[in-house]
């Protein structure tokens, strides 16, 4: 009887040990997943910076990369010419970025940001900067080179030039 009791106790200890190991493995997987999501937040910020000047190609994969290359071809410019284009972009102000893991193991990021453009310094208008607000939704897939954007959508939320033009129109019509 004592031997059977000891045997049962040993089985329970072994079972508890396996349960703890499984819990630890699950927690490690969850932690790794959270680290990946945090990494995508940083990549989203990089994507915003690069896409604001048209240099996001290295962060694209699949159909997003194909659309980027097609857009360049439609404009009739090479990648090198595209990268040389100067922009009046002064700054990018990232307001908020949030990412979450999807059921298919991709990660979707959401962001709001502003692009601040230099206006013509020779202009006699009272507007010295143009501030354009955007929202971004991007789907990130894990590739052999890390996470890359497979699909994205950038929506225009507000353009400060619109307010100025409306004011000018009302003053000219009034």
Domains annotated for the chain, with CATH where assigned, are 2-173 (3.10.450)
Residue 47 in contact with residue 153, Cβ under 8 Å? no
Measured in degrees and rounded to the nearest 5, phi and psi for residue 55 equal: -120, 35
The per-residue pLDDT for 65 is 92
Report the C-alpha gap between 132 and 85 in whole angstroms.
20
Which pTM value belongs to this model? 0.77
Looking at residue 135, its pLDDT comes to: 97
The tens place of each residue's pLDDT in the chain, 174 residues long, gives 667 766 666 667 766 667 777 777 878 888 888 899 999 999 999 999 999 888 899 999 999 999 988 988 888 776 655 555 556 788 999 999 999 999 998 999 999 999 998 875 555 566 678 889 999 999 999 999 999 999 999 999 998 888 777 777 777 876
SS3 167: helix
Distance of CA 27 to the CA centre of its chain: 26
């Amino acid at each position: 009887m004592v031997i059977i009791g000891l045997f049962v106790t040993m089985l329970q200890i072994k079972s508890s040990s396996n349960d703890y190991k499984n819990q630890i493995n699950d927690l490690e997987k969850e932690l790794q997943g959270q680290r990946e999501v945090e990494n995508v937040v940083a990549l989203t910020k990089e994507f915003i910076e690069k896409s604001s000047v048209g240099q996001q190609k290295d962060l694209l994969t699949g159909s997003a990369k194909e659309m980027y290359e097609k857009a360049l071809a439609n404009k009739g410019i090479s990648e090198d010419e595209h990268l040389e284009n100067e922009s009046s972009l002064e700054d990018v102000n990232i307001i908020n970025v949030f990412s979450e893991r999807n059921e298919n193991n991709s990660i979707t990021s959401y962001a709001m940001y502003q692009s601040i453009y230099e206006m013509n310094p020779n202009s006699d208008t009272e507007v010295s900067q143009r501030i354009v607000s955007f929202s971004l939704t991007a789907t990130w897939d894990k590739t052999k080179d890390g996470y890359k954007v497979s699909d994205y959508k950038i929506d225009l939320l507000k353009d400060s030039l619109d307010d100025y033009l409306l004011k000018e129109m009302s003053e000219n019509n009034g």
